Structures are given as C-alpha cells and as structure tokens.
Amino acid sequence: MAKGKEKSVFFCQECGYESAKWLGKCPGCGQWNTFVEELVTKQSGDVARLMPSSEPMTLQEIYYDDVLRIDTGIHELNRVLGGGMVPGALMLLAGDPGIGKSTLTMQLTGSIHMQEKILYVSGEESRQQLKMRAQRLGIGTEQLYILTENNLSVIEKHIDKIKPGLLILDSIQTVYLPEITSAPGSVSQLRECTGKLLQWAKGLGLSVIVVGHVTKDGAVAGPRVLEHMVDTVLFFEGERHNHFRILRALKNRFGSTNEIGVFEMQEQGLREVHNPSEVFLSERPQDTVGSVVVPCMEGTRPVLVELQALVASSPYGQPRRMTNGADYNRTAMLLAVLEKKMRLPIGNHDIFLNVVGGLKVDEPAIDLGIIAALVSSMQNRPILKDAVVLGEVGLTGEVRTINFLDKRLIEAEKMGFRVAVVPAGNLKQGQKFPIEVKGVRNVGEALRVLLGGA
Ligand code: TYD
Ligand code: MG
C-alpha cells in the first residue's frame, strides 16, 4: 500500500466535526471536550458524494415499484421497516450490549424470504459461537455464509466472490479499512467504513444491515454522520431485568418512524409479540390506587399501557419527582394544573410516575391518565372499575380532543374494558362506540367521574 502523507486531525466524537487543532468546545454541536486526535492518511470527507451519478429526470420518468420490498419473515420487523426491507438499503441496528441485536439479525437470516445468498460477517464472535447461536435458534439455511473478519477490504473480496443479496455486519465498530491508520471505532474509520457500505448498497443493490453499539448515554457510538449516511436507523431497547424488547425506527427513508415492534427474549430466541396490550397489562393489579390504563397510539397501532403513580408526602423540603416512560416536563405542567386549578397541595409531595413495561409514551393523550393516577394515589381512592382514560389537558385544566378515538376504544374493548372517560369534544351526537363513553370537559369533571366525588 502506497503511504500518503500522514497528518493529524481532530474529530468531535459527537458530531464528527473536523478540525486541524484541538478545541475545547465543538463549533458543530456545542459539546465540550469531545475532540480526539486521529492520524489520517487519506483525505476523508468525500463520502457524501457516493450516489452513482445520473442524468436529471422528471418525476414521471422515474420508475418506482412499491411491491419491491423483501419480506423479512418477521412481522414486527416488517412493520418497523415500513412494510419490509428495501433492496439496496443501508440499515443501522443500534442498541445496548446484550439486548439481542445479534440474535435478531441471526434469526432474520433464517426467516427472510429471499433467493440470494446471505453473508453474515462478525467481527466480534468466533465461528463456533455463531454456529452455537444458529443451532439454538434452529437456523439451518444453506444460503447463509458466515465470515469472521474485521478488514473491510477482505470482506469486499468475499462479497465479489459470493455475491450475496444481504450483508449483515456485526458490528461497525469492529471493522476497519487498512488504508486508514486510526483504530477501528474511531471517527474516521466509522465514516469511511460506512461510506464503503453505502457504496456497496447503492452500487450493487446489496441490502446491508450493520449493527452499531451505543454509548452509555444511549446515542449511537461514533459521530452523528453515521446516522446521516444510512437509510434507516433502528433502535432495539428494553430493560435488562425484563424480557420485553422494543424495536423502533429513529430514522427511516422508506417509511414512518412511528411504528414499534415488540419482542420477547426467550430461551429459543426472540418471539414476536403480536398483542402488546396483553403483555403490558399482564401483571396489572386489580382495583389498586394509583393505577390507570390508557390506550396509546404507537404508530398506527393502539397499545394499552398501565400508568402507575405513587404520591407520598415528602419528609424533606425538596420533594422528589421521578418519571419513567412519561415526559418529565409534561408531568410537571400537569402537577401545576392540579395545584393551581384543582387546589390540590400536591407540590410538596414526592412523586413517582411509571409507564409499566418499559414503554415510552410521549403523546399528549396520556395527560388525563397521568392526572388520574396522581390524584388516585394522593387521595388513596381507586379509579372507576374497568375504565380507560384518554385526553389531553390544557393549562386552564380543560380536557382537549384527541385523535384515533375509535381505534383506541376498539382495543380497549378487546382487552375487556367496559367504559372510557374521554374528551367531550370527541363525542358527536348519534355516534356509536364499542364501549360506554363518558365525555368530560375539564379535569374537575374527569376526576368526579373517575374517582367519585372530589
Ligand atoms: P445478543 O443477541 O448476543 O445481544 P447483542 O448482540 O445485542 O449484544 O443476545 C444477548 C442476550 O440474549 C444474551 O444475554 C443471551 C440472551 N439470549 C437468550 O435469552 N436466548 C437466545 O436464544 C439467545 C440467542 C440469546
Ligand atoms: Mg452481539
């Protein structure tokens, strides 16, 4: 290999900003102390110009066929991808170590509906380990080729030979290009390697799934440029102590980013969970204070989630507030509404709010549910039996309309709920609903219906 002139360049580990000298604060993303030095031989930074050059065309001339999606054989994954895998797509699968990324990609090789070969490259595990996992998952596909290799140039040679339709690379942080002197996982390696993958994806029409590790604060390790370069960023998450895993798209050039896929990690690998409501409500205690069920929308799918609140008088001057799965600031606003509009002295209480099952809900339709759970716990009164609660709450304590009421109520009925407390504004005369609905205009009315009295 002819050695070019080496020079030292500093990269921001957060956003990939390049600088000739070390900087305390990154001008690109504003973060402090994120610059690291790397030796660069090749002039990097041209990866954005990787699209094959083409002539300008009118929209009418461009041929596009939506049926051209590959069925991955995993329903929940298809949904998150927007209806299947697009050939020639570069997808990043990110998540904490041990969450099940390798399991998911290995399972995919056994279920995907494609004629072409699949090349599974691991830079982390030995062939024996991979074989063991494949056996455990019951995968015996003949079209699957396993390669343990870290050098991307060598991987390229094998791609030329095998000509796979799908490449799985586990993980981007463990591969390198020999012409770049910095270590695997460094900004310039990540950038150039991803550029190479992009070239293969777009040039050869090869679908690529690349696994990426995340840093301790949950960002995809390596610079943001990695996220910019790929077509799809999938995030696999879950809590270590429970078996449920949620797959979501943080970015998707071929579909929406609202859909989630739910899985359960079992002895024989990941099992798809087709009815998440059942799972999230499975351990719900009956008639307990502080527990409310809200039908939330996760993309196009309604999912019933249980909200739990614990409100206890605070022994210290500085009450503690903790939310898990619900937005902290939104909850603070709802507390202020309770304090000011309902004259509830809730401000001097410790408050713990939890969305059960590790789900994160960020839609405003959950507001009234949060309020109901908080007041129920504070006043030690259980919520109306077999009821679900829905509604956005405004600053004056009014209950505002929400979308997809029908879908949510159908799901509630399916799960055995009999009554729903909903915004009055959502109800039109003569309209029929699957379960009994009680329309409320403001928080006071809602609490009277849900808790009786108040
Ligand atoms: P893995 O896919 O290796 O995680 P990642 O690639 O994201 O680091 O899976 C991690 C965990 O899953 C591991 O602790 C073992 C567990 N597991 C099962 O429970 N059942 C299985 O069938 C497999 C393959 C793994
Ligand atoms: Mg792994």
> Measured from the CA of 267, which atom of ligand 1 is nearest?
20
pLDDT reported for residue 454: 45
Q: Are residues 329 and 434 in the same domain?
A: yes
Whether omega before 44 lies within 30 degrees of 0, making that bond cis, reads no
pLDDT reported for residue 306: 94
Q: Are residues 346 and 445 in the same domain?
A: yes
For residue 72, report the distance from its CA to the centre of ligand 2, in Å: 20
319 vs 332: CA distance, rounded Å: 12
pLDDT reported for residue 5: 66
Q: Ligand 1 in contact with 349 (CB < 6 A)?
A: no
For residue 198, report the distance from its CA to the centre of ligand 1, in Å: 28
User: How many distinct structural domains can be found in the chain?
Assistant: 3
Please report whether residue 68 resides in a domain: no
Please report whether residue 32 resides in a domain: yes
Q: What is the DSSP letter of 21?
A: S
Q: Are residues 192 and 309 in the same domain?
A: no
Phi and psi dihedrals of 406, rounded to 5? -60, -50
Q: Are residues 241 and 307 in the same domain?
A: no
Cα 113 to its chain centre, rounded Å, is 24
Cα 57 to its chain centre, rounded Å, is 35
Residue nearest (by alpha carbon) to ligand 1 atom 12 = 100
Q: Ligand 1 in contact with 97 (CB < 6 A)?
A: yes
Strand positions, DSSP E, 201-243:
207-213, 232-238
Q: Ligand 1 in contact with 358 (CB < 6 A)?
A: no
Consecutive H or E run containing 158: helix 152-162
Q: Are residues 111 and 207 in the same domain?
A: yes
Cα 243 to Cα 238, 336, 407: the distances in Å are: 8, 36, 27
Q: What is the DSSP letter of 85?
A: B
Of the candidates 235, 230, 220, 222, which has an alpha carbon nearest to the alpha carbon of residue 253?
230
pLDDT reported for residue 65: 63
Side chain identity at 406, as an amino acid letter?
D
Please report whether residue 65 resides in a domain: no
- Residue 407 is part of which domain span? 279-451
CATH code: domain of residue 184 = 3.40.50.300
For residue 97, report the distance from its CA to the centre of ligand 2, in Å: 7
Please report whether residue 50 resides in a domain: no
CATH code: domain of residue 366 = 3.30.230.10
Q: Do residues 35 and 27 touch, judged by C-beta distance below 8 A?
A: no
Q: What is the pLDDT along the chain (454 residues), one digit of tens a residue?
A: 444 567 888 888 777 788 899 999 989 888 888 888 887 765 544 544 455 566 788 888 777 665 589 999 999 999 999 999 999 999 999 988 889 999 999 999 999 998 999 999 999 999 999 999 999 999 888 899 999 999 999 999 999 999 999 999 998 999 999 998 888 888 888 889 999 999 999 888 899 999 998 866 656 666 567 888 899 999 998 877 778 898 989 899 988 887 889 999 998 899 999 888 887 788 788 778 999 999 999 888 899 999 999 999 888 778 999 999 999 999 999 999 999 999 999 988 999 999 987 788 989 999 999 999 999 999 999 999 899 999 999 999 999 999 999 999 999 998 899 999 999 999 988 889 999 999 999 999 999 999 985 4
Mutate to test the pocket of ligand 1, among 92, 96, 103 (most ligand atoms within 8 A of CB): 103
Q: Do residues 7 and 39 touch, judged by C-beta distance below 8 A?
A: yes
Instruction: Report CA torsion sign: 299, 300, 304, 307.
Output: positive
Instruction: Report CA torsion sign: 270, 275, 277, 278.
Output: negative
Q: Are residues 262 and 306 in the same domain?
A: no
